[in-house]
Chains A and B, each alone.
With several copies, the nearest count.
Chain A
């Protein structure tokens, strides 16, 4: 018998079942908001930055299993990284960290990358204003 959710790797299912860093963040340093109801995936990513280092990340996601897992994974990946390092995190890195995604779900990893970039952009533009 094939396992439940067999379209996904165990890693994806683990992050889907027990997503890391779900939730809101009070006064985040950067917020990324990507996706829309039409495409069926909406991600919100919040980051806290201290001394150019991402010290905390949280997400909220409306979307499929892959959307939830990639959001969860990206929050794990950025934790403790410098802004420059975080900007290097590509959708491929997210996919690899999850042991792969089905072809039809690749766009979710792109969305996760975009959510991160958009949160960092938000942080950078806010700190530039400061």
Chain B
């Protein structure tokens, strides 16, 4: 049975050419970039090339890119780093109710250590209201962190507008762009952000590597302390193969982006329409158009998500319910609840996230298979009976 992978938002396979490019840096060109002899300088040159490629992808300057171990570390570094560096100015952080746990939990950590946080509510599409941001800013606010696009429902925030409000108030602005980098056009200067997180494995780079854009002049206390790599902004021996992989993934994403955005938007809209058509009582989560080109998220009423995922898996289809991180946990998605869904609707959510290897046939297969799964589960559901 052909496996159909529709969970690209959880992680993506590294592209074969990305893995190829990484290979020499494991073995022959394995030097430590801090070493001055030839092996070391080869590795350093590779890291520098990757930095240029990542900078190009997001319109930044090389020296504004700091490599990290992934999106989580980038988010932690941004929040903790800016908070601690600006402690004398204030202790208030603004974020949204639908951030990834890497931001939410880091906020909570800071809240336990003398900071206060405002968690902006969102509307039913998952959108933050710029007015709410304006109102939340106090004289103590040092940082606003709102994600570029949400990993569960795909809603794209009006970051440029939010960042402008922050800038006018003299507050630093961070955006978690883990779901958008390499997926949709993105320019840090147009967005006007001070910090931006990305993660390689979300756009066909390897797992365990990411980057944080830090606009020149943004004060930041280092998060990882040690040998002073990355111009003292992130210590630890550089993950050279990983960084090389991130660099090439960034380069390829930049070159292919326009075509992919068009192609995936078409497939996405076909899948959404098909699901609505073929299954009763399905609602689309997130916004119809301010949406990642590859995200489909629906709530299928009266059935629970995991049981759908398992049945889909039995048919060779990989999808998810809520975010990958919270599957295995019992709480319904905080994102869907923040959008106003009832608990049972949140528990009945399905996310299909499309990607590079998704084809029209895969969409058709999902549309063929899912209605049967839903019927079977609904026949078992005590919720449906009580609604009849």
Chain A complexes with chain B: yes
Residues of A in contact with B (beta carbons under 8 Å apart): 1-8, 13, 16-17, 19, 22-24, 33, 36-44, 60-65, 67-68, 102, 104, 107
Contact A5 B380 (CB under 8 A): no
8 Å CB interface, B331-354 against A:
332, 342-344, 347
Select one of B42, B328, B382 contacting A62, CB under 8 A. Answer: B382
| A contact residues around B41 at 8 Å (CB) | 2, 6-7
Residues in B neighbouring A102, C-beta threshold 8 A = 328
Residues of chain B within 8 A (CB-CB) of A22 are 379-380
Are A62 and B385 in touch, CB under 8 angstroms? no
B286-317 interface bits toward A, Cβ cutoff 8 Å, 1 = contact, 0 = none: 00000000000000001111110010011010
Q: Cβ of A2 and Cβ of B347 under 8 Å apart? A: no
Q: Top 6 nearest A-B pairs by Cβ distance?
A: A6-B41, A64-B306, A37-B344, A60-B382, A37-B343, A40-B347
Interface mask (B45-67 → A, CB under 8 Å = 1, otherwise 0): 10000000000000000000000
Q: List chain B positions with a Cβ less than 8 A from chain A.
A: 36-38, 41-42, 45, 302-307, 310, 313-314, 316, 328-330, 332, 342-344, 347, 379-383, 385
A42 and B383 form a contact (CB under 8 A):
yes
Q: A2-B42, A39-B330, A104-B328 are in contact. Are A61 and B382 (CB under 8 A)?
A: yes
CB-contact partner of B382 in A38, A43, A65, under 8 A: A43
Contact for B307 among A16, A33, A43, CB less than 8 A? A16
User: With A and B bound together, what is the CA distance between A23 and B381 in angstroms?
Assistant: 9
In the complex, A5→B313 CA distance in Å? 7
Q: Give complex CA distance A39, B344 in Å.
A: 9
Q: Other CB < 8 Å A-B pairs besides A2-B41, A37-B344, A64-B305, 10 of them? A: A4-B37, A5-B36, A7-B41, A8-B310, A38-B343, A40-B330, A60-B381, A62-B304, A62-B380, A68-B380
Contacts of B302 in A (CB 8 A): 62
